[in-house]
Structure 1
Amino acid sequence: MTRPLRRLGFLTIGLFDPDEPRAGHEATLRIIELGERLGFDSAYVRHRHLQHGISSPLTFLAAASQRTRRIDLGTAVIPLGWENPLRLAEDLATVDVLSGGRLQPGVSVGPPMQWEHVRGALYPDTADVEDFSYARVERLLRHLRGEPASTFSGQQGIEVFSERVQPHAPGLADRVWYGAGSVRSATWAGRQGLGLLSSNVVKHEGDPGEPVDFARAQRAQMDAFLAAHPDPGAARLSQGLVVVPTDSASADQRRRYEQYAAERLPRTAEPQGPARMLFAPDLVGPSEQLAEQLRAHAGFQAVDEVVVALPFTFDHEDYVQILTDIAERLAPALGWTGPADDGDPA
């Protein structure tokens, strides 16, 4: 028996034209403003280095924090292999303070994508000794909690120094999510008491030849996370899938949405790449149909929070239609009632 949907979010890559990047960033800011007006509880941005998507999510979310007042702002996810945990802690805390405590940081570990091609530019002197393990998350959490980052504090001349990251943002460490793709990483996140962001890509960990079942694989990771969590009743668990309602879509939009999902469907038939990753099928259709599909999904049955992933390459008007249908039709069909404070943004 699925629980009523308690929190509703969306995720965007923030695509832009490299010849006119400001327009794309501005369009994404308007989408977040729209999400707040529609009552969404959270808006997340992806992290895309050396691509035509948001490469600096915290800089972007600092701007979004000044154009919204209620909606939570998150990252899904920041790959820590690109980051110095101390410096990232400063940026996270600054944005959290600017937003009034609305930041929901999502992180992951592992070597940066295209590692062999970027290692010389990213870590020219230390590439062979960089630690891309869970320890990088642990370092970040220590800094966010206010543990010492320096052996010196006090006044030196006219300058005053702190031993911990400034500004300090109380409670921010408790809002960190982990983007897990395997049972192992989901278990680790649970033991740390982090939130779990489960996306539309998970690792296939069944025996060779075992039928592919994305929902079952995702649910196995969620169950492992909850079993490892010190307080599973209070654990934060979110599901993210590509879900595209078509209730108010035009005939052309429906055609393009269905074509998009059909073109991506073959990759869901079997594990992909050396890591044997499973991709979830995109869900496209009327809200009533989508609600039935989600209620029958083993992963969805374990959560009361979703972060719907917007397709990467659609037009601004498409995102407006999709978000509006999600907030006004699909989410209410799943039991979502919207935020308690649903006044207009300041």
Structure 2
Amino acid sequence: MTTPASSLRRLGFLTIGLFDPDDPRAGHESTLEIIELGEQLGFDSAWLRHRHLQFGISSPVAVMAAASQRTQRIELGTAVTPLGWENPLRLAEDLATVDLLSGGRVNPGVSVGAPMHYDTVREELYPQSADVEDFSKARVERFARFVAGDSVREFSGKQGVVEEFSQRVEPHSSGLRSRLWYGAGSLDSAVRAGENGFNLLSSNVVFPEADEVPDFAAVQARQIRAFRQAVAESAASVNLGRVSQGLVVIPTDSASPEQKRRYEDYVAERLPRTREPQGPRGMLFAPDLVGTSEQIAEQLAVHAGFQEVDEVAFALPFSFSHEDYVQILTDIATRLGPALGWSPRSE
């Protein structure tokens, strides 16, 4: 077996938290059980996708709050929360609250840009301000300032007998700012993340530059290197420039023949989109990796993007069953992770 360029230091997983609209509680409970299992298996982190008006987790902050009370060690993150749907000040309050309840285990990942299918929801989401909402990088910079504890107003102090007011977002969680992540898919956004003191979430989607060969792994590796250079050159950096890669991996070591068939069909159905750039920006998708842990480790060892990182949050497929996720996570923790040089964390 090929030896990885460097040992994997931190291992996480990412889930969409799929649920049946006729029984949404069961799907949310399944997600919490999967996070509990992840902690038992020694995973370093569990990450939640953020979905609005779909059948996946719409409130990862609430789910993280619940998970924080059912786990002791595993870190909890979002990958990612689209800030176009959020009031940055209110989101900062909620995340700080959950971070404190969790004992400092929250890793908020965010992105900017207009909400998906904005024209279908704009009048309900921002009925008075849809035409003037700022979905640019300024929105994430405001959010970061609120999390950092910067002043949001001049007014503060005691009013009356019991009312006391603060100039900053409360509660304040002092370590949270250094655990903010930015979901970047382009060279510009990766550099901007480094310049503004964010850690970098790099997923299975990238946007190449006009002068780049459309090779997913090479494009991702270039973005990661540019991010790290920006961190090194930024006087404003408040973190160590962590980078997490999020590919879809499906180990089949302990899978049943029926599971293997479904997994392979799933990957085959999604493969055509990876063969050429998609859309006007030439978006590139990474192929999903399915096979034994040894086979997947061999592929990752020669993946230029993977060679640049020492932590990952492998994405669970969207539409599988709870039992499938148990099998996949168990194989990742007990077989694939160790094959990549990772060791499970203990209490």
Instruction: Bin the TM-score by the shorter chain.
Output: over 0.9
Secondary structure (helix, strand or coil) at the match of 1:255 reads helix
- Worse-superposed segment, 126-135 or 241-250: 126-135
State the SS of the aligned residue for 2:47. Answer: strand
* Distance in 2 separating the partners of 1:234 and 1:78: 22
1:306 equivalenced with 2:308 (yes/no): no
Q: Does the 8 A contact of 1:212 with 1:269 survive in 2?
A: no
1:243 aligns with 2:249: yes
Give the alignment of 1:68-83 within 5 angstroms.
68-83=71-86
CA RMSD across the alignment: 1.3
Once the two structures are TM-superposed, the CA of residue 270 in structure 1 deviates from its matched residue by: 1.0
Which of 10, 17, 21 is the equivalent residue of 1:14? 17
Answer yes or no: is the 8 Å Cα contact 1:246–1:325 preserved in 2. Answer: yes
1:275 equivalenced with 2:312 (yes/no): no
The aligned amino acid for 2:97 is T
1:133-212 pair list within 5 angstroms: 133-157=136-160, 158-207=162-211, 212=214
Alpha-carbon contact 1:11-1:44 (below 8 Å) kept: yes
Match of 2:123 among 117, 120, 130: 120
Query: Do the aligned residues in 2 keep the contact of 1:9 with 1:306 (CA within 8 Å)?
Result: yes
Tell me, yes or no, if the aligned pair for 1:204 and 1:278 is still in contact at 8 Å.
Answer: yes
1:336 paired to 2:346: no
2:6 and 2:240 map into 1 onto residues whose CA distance is 15
CA distance, structure 2, for counterparts of residue 275 and residue 211 of structure 1? 14
Report the AA paired with residue 169 of structure 2: V
Correspondent of 1:34 among 13, 34, 37: 37
The equivalent of 1:254 in structure 2 is: 260
Match of 2:103 in 1: 100
Provide Cα deviations, 1:6-55, integer angstroms capped at 9, x if missing partner.
00000000000011100000000000000000000000000000000000
1:111 & 1:338 partners in 2: Cα distance?
A: 39
SS in 2 for 1:229: helix
- Structure 2-normalised TM-score? 0.95
1:219-243 CA-partner distances (Å, limit 9, x unpaired): 1111111111137993201100000
* Aligned-partner residue type, residue 51 of structure 2: R
Query: What fraction of aligned residue pairs are identical, expressed as a percent?
Result: 69
CA–CA distance in structure 1, aligned partners of residues 164 and 280 of structure 2: 51
Note the alpha carbon deviations across 1:153-199, whole angstroms, 9 max, x for none.
11111211111111110110010000001000001001112100000
Paired letter, 1:215:
A
Letter in 2 for 1:226: R
Stretches of structure 2 that go unaligned for 5 or more consecutive residues are none
TM-score (norm 1): 0.96
Q: In the aligned structure 2, how far is the partner of 1:10 from the partner of 1:231?
A: 30
Report the number of matched residues: 339
